[in-house]
Copies of this chain bind each other. A is one copy, B any other.
Amino acid sequence: MIIPTFDDMIAAHERIKPHIHKTPILTSSFFNALTGAELFFKCENFQKAGVFKARGASNAVFSLGDDMLEKGVATHSSGNHALSLSYAAGRRNIPCTVVMPRTAPQAKKDAVKGYGGKIIECEPSTSSREATFAEVVAETGAEFVHPYNDHRVIAGQGTCARELVEQVENLDAVVAPIGGGGMVSGTCLTLSNIAPNIEIYAAEPEQADDAARSFKAGHIIADDAPDTIADGLKVPLKDLTWHFVSNHVTDILTVSEQEIIDAMKLIWKRMKIVMEPSSAVPLATIIKNKEVFAGKRVGIIITGGNVDLDLLPWLNT
């Protein structure tokens, strides 16, 4: 396990700056009044590839040695990491191979191809995915970039919190959604070094609350197949992200599916931004736990905006 350092995050930031947006902060007097807190929304839904993961993927791709450029990078993902790694590889003009279940939405496959990624399809099972991925790596010799349990990826994600504290003074707390823990770990890495007084909260769906249970238990608990509308948050913690979460997170708060949907729709309606269900989880936890955040200056990471506009969750409820 290679634990990224603060200097790794600083180096990552220099490395990826030409390839990412410094995303804006939005505020909302409506949500300030609703929550009693002063909220600052860090809009990674406006990030390249539509998600904060462009940061970590870009750092992994642009820190590859010259000897790896011909072989490129590979990963397995049917979601935002696939998009982000394809985006970053395209910027460096190196091959990117993504193993995706053949049942993945066509829109996601098209998006990966749009960024120049190559898709190898597998059956929608863990065994098929792992076998297929092993073949891909054996054939291509490509560098595996894990979606979150990777020191380069976490150093990249940490650049988001660095921008946030530059953009907003005197924050009391930051709230980010937690799935595998990549964004939260990057936030811990950065804030524990430059702003250790800022509390870090992770926000998680009740129906995929393995991180919250891990946090209480003091060791990683991984669920087999959690089901939540916040599709970016179904994956479990791994050793590297557990290291950061267990050492630096103040608390992990959970919310119901309906609370996520309600918060998501309210953000779209009042703030006029398109964001994913996962990104609504932090605000939902703040609305649910007003006493924790009232009177505080709180940064909220809006992690991404890649949502299927034909399948909006409130249209089915």
A residues within 8 Å of B by Cβ? Answer: 24, 26, 45-46, 50, 265, 268-269, 271-275, 305, 309-310, 312, 314-315
5 A-B interface contacts by CB (under 8 A): A269-B309, A273-B273, A274-B274, A309-B312, A310-B314
How many angstroms from the CA of A291 to the CA of B305 in the assembled complex?
31
Q: Which residues of chain B are within 8 angstroms of A310 by Cβ–Cβ distance?
A: 314-315
* B314 and A265 within 8 A (CB): no
Once bound together, how far apart are the Cα atoms of A275 and B310, in whole Å? 16
The copy count of this chain in the complex is 2
Q: A314 contacts which chain B residues (CB < 8 A)?
A: 309-310
CB distance from A62 to the nearest CB of B (A): 18
Shortest Cβ-Cβ A-B pairs, 9 listed: A272-B305, A272-B274, A45-B272, A268-B274, A46-B272, A268-B309, A269-B309, A24-B24, A274-B274
Q: Which of B46, B274, B275 contacts A26 (CB 8 A)?
A: B46
Nearest opposing residue in chain B for A267, CB measure: B274
Given A45-B272, A272-B45, A275-B272, CB of A265 within 8 Å of CB of B312: no
- Which residues of chain B have C-beta atoms less than 8 A from A46's C-beta? 26, 271-272
| Chain B residues within an 8 Å CB radius of A26 | 46
Pick from B50, B265, B312, B315: contact of A272, CB under 8 Å:
B50
**Nearest chain B residue, comparing its CB with the CB of A311:** B315
CA A310 to CA B309, docked complex, whole Å: 12
Extra A-B contacts (18), CB below 8 Å, given A46-B272, A269-B309: A24-B24, A26-B46, A45-B272, A46-B271, A50-B272, A265-B309, A268-B274, A268-B309, A269-B274, A272-B274, A272-B275, A272-B305, A273-B273, A273-B274, A309-B314, A310-B314, A310-B315, A312-B312
CB neighbours (8 Å) of A275 from chain B are 272
What chain B residues lie within 8 Å of A50 (beta carbons)? Answer: 272
Q: Considering only CB atoms, which chain B residue lies closest to A269 in the complex?
A: B309
- What is the minimal beta-carbon distance from A265 to any residue of chain B, in angstroms? 6
Given the complex, which residues of B lie within 8 Å of A45, measured CB to CB? 272
- Distance, CA A271 to CA B268, complexed state (A): 13
Instruction: Give chain B nearest CB distance to A280 CB in angstroms.
Output: 13
Q: Which residues of B contact A271 (CB under 8 A)?
A: 46
- Give the docked Cα–Cα distance between A309 and B314 (Å): 9
The answer to whether A272 and B273 touch across the interface, beta carbons within 8 angstroms, is yes
- Tell me the bound Cα distance from A265 to B273 in angstroms: 13
In the assembled complex, the CB of A192 is this many whole angstroms from the nearest CB of chain B, namely: 30
Assembly CA distance A314 to B310 (angstroms): 8
Give Cα distance in the complex from A305 to B24, angstroms. Answer: 18
Which residue of chain B has its CB nearest to the CB of A21? Answer: B27
A50 to B274, CA, bound (A): 15
**Chain B residues whose C-beta falls within 8 Å of the C-beta of A274 in the assembled complex:** 268-269, 272-274
